[in-house]
Amino acid sequence: MTSITQTLPPITNRARSALLSGMRDFYDTVGKFLPTKPIQPKSQYSNIGPKPPKDLTIIERPLWEQIPHEYDYFHPFFSDAPQFIGSYFARKYAALYQENGSKAANTFLRTCGLTRCTEVQQQYTIENAGKSLIAQTFYKQLATLPTYDKIDVDELGAKIAGYMQNLIIKFLETDEFKLSNNDHELTIYRFALEQLKPLRITAPYFADYKKDEITAQQIVIALAKLSADKWWQNKLKRLWAFQREHLAIAAGQVQKSASPYASRTCVGEWKEQKRKNREWLKNQCIENTDTGEQFDLVFQVDKSNANPAIRRCELMIRMRGFEDIADEFGYTGAFITLTAPSKYHAVHAKGGFIKNWNAGTPRDTQRYLCNVWAKIRAKLNREGIKIFGFRVAEPHHDGTPHWHILVFMRPEDKDQVHDIMYKYALAEDWDEPGARDNRIKFEDIEKEKGSATGYIAKYISKNIDGYQLDDEIDDETGQNLKDMAKNVTAWASRWGIRQFQQIGGAPVTVWRELRRLGSQKVESKEIDPVLAAADAGDWAAYTQLQGGVTVRRKDLRVRVSYEETQNQFEEDVKKVKGVFSPIVGVASFICTRLIKWAIVPKNRRDCAPRSSVNNCTEVKKSPEYDQRKIIINELKKHQINYNSYQLNHLLAGRDLKFNDKLLIKWVKDKLVIIDLRKKWVGIPMDVEFNF
């Protein structure tokens, strides 16, 4: 048969446009006759294979699609695993199954960190809710807390706080509360304890309750905290952070071959929080509440001990000061490394899980080291042996902390100190392999090899900012030391571990408060030389003037003075106000914080630019106004409360007497403060004020 081929004429643009317009009108007209309900797509499992189990998790779904016949084997491993942990192992398991078969994949699943994660999860499981309505109501949310993000944790904290507040209100209407005899506060506090018990969250003032010393006011404050969103959010975020990092350690995500010291997630969260904090600081000012003068908050923070460089320099100055004292008095030094038993470690140094790991956290290990050190210090005190120096806490590659201690002692005490430290360091699991060689290392400081400060300088820098460690290699990880400083700081921040601690000597808080005064000279003969040493940055002289490296707190020449204020819960809080000398008494008080500052947001549109030049016509002040300002400043400087009537009384030339302790006089444009407890005999008093 012969086929006839015809060629259709081309369609013009006008015809094409008309055709498209007609098609559009057709669909617009017919569209109203289409079904109003959406057509449900058929499930991919409707006709292919068995239906998925009801308890199939997001982690397990790809495995079910690939190897459904292995579900009964892999389900116990992944059913309770958080997604941020289990997803990695699921991908690894699937890849091994494809490449090496079921035997290799299932062996991996038995030996990987998922079984350890289950053991860790059990530590945070709410096993017995009992009478806790909070545990019963929020059981599911609390059981899956590690899978939440920070916003979800904040929302959960707000919900629990509101629920707790309603529980307290309802309990006040119960017969149990109404029939309690004179113990209404204790009854409701015990009810609150029942709610918190399964959650492993400690109630406010629980230590005082255990000692039977809790007061009605403390119970009121505790109930206010338990009803506050912020209190619950802080507690839950802390628990959330601990659980996530604890699971990462169990899964092997914290080790030399993965992420040393802290997990990648932990380091990333720490960096992001640092960035947010920095952005917040840049958008805030500190404002003088009296004058309204403002300064950028970020610049003030950079000039404080919050700056890592300043913190590192201060530590080095203090360490060098101790070394100078040791050289002057002929003390000998020792560098000690204190490590926990193997059961506190999660991963071997060369890789591989430690079988006898006790599933503890770095905080558990830190608590163990603190207990060992407390026993060592107590034994040394009983033997009359005094030591001084510094302690640095830093992590092994798997996040387990260990201590580096640099101490000085009398040469004749060195052997005894060595024996005492070995005894208590090996008290637990002394017979395990390698305990005698690795549990504690005691190295004498040899001046020929370098200064004592040089021994610990690297560890101080590594645990702060990695200064001058660009070309140094970390012994723990084999990586660059400066790069590892971020991981170490993130580790300390996550677990709340104190990295540096002074042993013996005078307190650094007094040193910092004195340095706030600068180079000014004070009238107190007891305080002025200590102030001069602190201002010069001479830690050795400051320590000696305070009473030496073995001085007890009650014998300090200069101490910190506090004032009591109240927080939002009307709870008494102590804040540093200044310094004083116990030798002289209250009259020696010097206020180091004269100005009250408030943090306010930057808003250049509402705040007029502040100039150092006053362009206004100056108003002449009276001599009485000048005297009043001088008296006010002096009273503030010595932390003496006053009112306007008392101020006018002083200006009139009369004397003020406070609680038979202080006598204040205004003599020849000078404020004279006399301590009556020093048996001073003066002129008769005109007015006596008691407050």
Does the annotation count 205 as an active-site position?
Answer: no
Which residues, listed in sequence order, are joined to residue 573 by a DSSP beta bridge? Answer: 565
Q: How far is CA 369 from CA 166, 195, 205, 439, in A?
A: 43, 33, 26, 11
Q: How far is CA 433 from CA 296, 423, 426, in A?
A: 57, 17, 12
Strands 500-503 and 388-395 come out as antiparallel
Distance from CA of residue 510 to its chain's centroid?
A: 23
CA gap 562, 595 in Å, rounded? 15
Residue 449's φ and ψ, nearest 5 degrees, are: -90, -15
- The type of residue at 611 is S
What tokens appear for 507 in the block? 């307190």
Catalytic residue among 455, 542, 642, 645: 455
Does the annotation count 139 as an active-site position?
Answer: no
**With helix as H, strand as E and coil as C, how does 641-686 read?**
CCCHHHHHHHHCCCCEEECCCEEEEEECCEEEEEEHHHCCCCCCCC
Strands 284-288 and 440-444 come out as unpaired
CA gap 493, 370 in Å, rounded? 18
Among candidate residues 390, 391, 387, the one with its CA nearest the CA of residue 377 = 387
Catalytic residue among 344, 459, 542, 642: 459
- Inter-residue contact 510 to 560 (CB < 8 Å): yes
Q: H-helix or E-strand containing 486?
A: helix 481-495
CA gap 591, 367 in Å, rounded? 37
CA gap 220, 570 in Å, rounded? 10
CA gap 462, 2 in Å, rounded? 91
Distance from CA of residue 309 to its chain's centroid?
A: 19
CA gap 399, 259 in Å, rounded? 10
Q: Considering Cα of 58, then 60, then 65, then 71, what sign does the dihedral take?
A: negative
What are the residue ranges of helices labelled H in 79-183? 83-100, 102-111, 114-123, 133-137, 139-143, 150-171, 175-178
List the end-to-end C-alpha distance of the chain, in Å, as a whole number.
125
* Active site amino acids: 455, 459
